[in-house]
Structure 1
């Protein structure tokens, strides 16, 4: 079986991490397939939403610790860093492989939902942080566990965490590697929804289908306005969003939305 499963059905893409015996810890095959799947999604005009999840007992344990103990490192055939190489080679290996995943995720304009269960540790949780919405089962345990292996958070935590929670809380999680429950993560602002374990799939499916039925281009513009707005002045944000308004009001979805409101019915967006 492939280390990652990628499917598209009813305009919804699903990426499933598929190394259940290793709690979906990264492998080179998984990362390569992940990058390919995300590039396909990014370049598609038809995909309207994305779900990222993991098979088996957990979402993703990040790096393969057993391989680290064997001294096999990162991003060899088992997905670990080759500790026998030079520092520059290791840096380039991380940059060209695992760090490509969150970078490409940032280029995807449609909603991306992470469905988290079991464990989401280290780089595994960082991949969820790179998604737009995080929905966690009650049993989920979350940790930025890099410090316990004596490594820095190389996959996005140092960038994402301070943007989602307070600086001191971000540093505390990174310095201690503390494990959080799903509810604790939600209270901090790291998780959007927490649902009962057995209801996770149904909740996620209903949630993503609702998003996929929205006005596609409008939702793309909304996502881009929110993310780019973090790097803009208010004046530049207004300029961008007024341009988007000019475009979307020429689209059929705008006409359908206005008619549906006037007729007091549910809109049928294309």
Structure 2
């Protein structure tokens, strides 16, 4: 079986981490397949929503420590001695060309991206979910920014995403200590959107995703762009962008259907 599974059904793309025997720790194959899947999602008009999930008893243990110690300086690479990374520059390039492509691609996707987490999610395995739009966690899930315990820095987006979500001081505390925290604590910090009982995780996530998939797609995509770009622009620029989006979406069939459904007091049937 592949280290990562990718499927599309009724407009819903599912990216499933599939190294359960290694707690879904990253492998080169997993990262390469992940990049390919995200590029497909980004470029396909038929995909409406993306779900990131995992097989086995954990979501993701981040970098595979066993692999990282197989050769001097090896980092997130398990293809054999010939691919060992032995210099600082080579390590940097390995991160840039592989692992760091994942959060960059996640940010390029203008469709809803939902992370569904259970069990353990630590280090880069947790940080990848911070690049998603919505995070749904099982009640028993646990999290940790564990880089410091391995003597490495947060190389996969944690130093970028964390302070934007929890503030600088709390981000530094999580990164400096590597302490574990529960799903409820993650929700209180704003790191998790929903916490649900373990036995209801898949049912809740499926209903959530299907609801988004049945919505007006261009409206969802324009709204996502406006929210994220609004974090880096001034008010005038944001308003100018959203007025352009409004001009476009009010010419679409979904707008006509939405207005008609409101007048007829029924649920809209968007395309």
TM normalised by structure 2 equals 0.97
Q: Which structure 2 residue ranges, 5 or more long, are not aligned?
A: none
Within the alignment, does 1:55 sit opposite 2:40 as a pair? no
Give structure 1 regions of 4+ aligned residues with deviation exceeding 4 angstroms. none
Where 2:109 maps in the other structure, the secondary structure is: coil
Gap change, CA 1:174 and 1:33, over 3 Å in 2: same
Shift of 1:130: 0.6
Where 1:204 maps in the other structure, the secondary structure is: helix
Q: Which structure 1 residue ranges, 5 or more long, are not aligned?
A: none
Count of aligned residue pairs for this structure pair: 269
Shift of 1:86: 1.3
Shift of 1:166: 1.6
For residues 268 and 92 of structure 1, what CA distance do their matches in structure 2 show?
47
2:27 aligns with: 27
Where 2:116 maps in the other structure, the secondary structure is: strand
Shift of 1:265: 0.2
Correspondence list, 1:117-156, <5 A: 117-156=118-157
1:222 aligns with: 223
Gap change, CA 1:214 and 1:84, over 3 Å in 2: closer
Shift of 1:46: 1.1
1:111 aligns with: 112
1:3 aligns with: 3
Where 1:75 maps in the other structure, the secondary structure is: coil
In the TM superposition, what whole-angstrom CA distance separates every residue of 1:227-270 from its partner, at most 9, and x where no partner exists? 01101000000000000000000000000000000000000000
> Retained in 2: the 8 A contact 1:27–1:79?
no
In the TM superposition, what whole-angstrom CA distance separates every residue of 1:46-68 from its partner, at most 9, and x where no partner exists? 11001000100011000011223
> Retained in 1: the 8 A contact 2:68–2:76?
no
2:68 aligns with: 68
In the TM superposition, what whole-angstrom CA distance separates every residue of 1:180-224 from its partner, at most 9, and x where no partner exists? 100000001100000000110000000000000000001000000
Shift of 1:78: 5.3
Where 2:102 maps in the other structure, the secondary structure is: helix
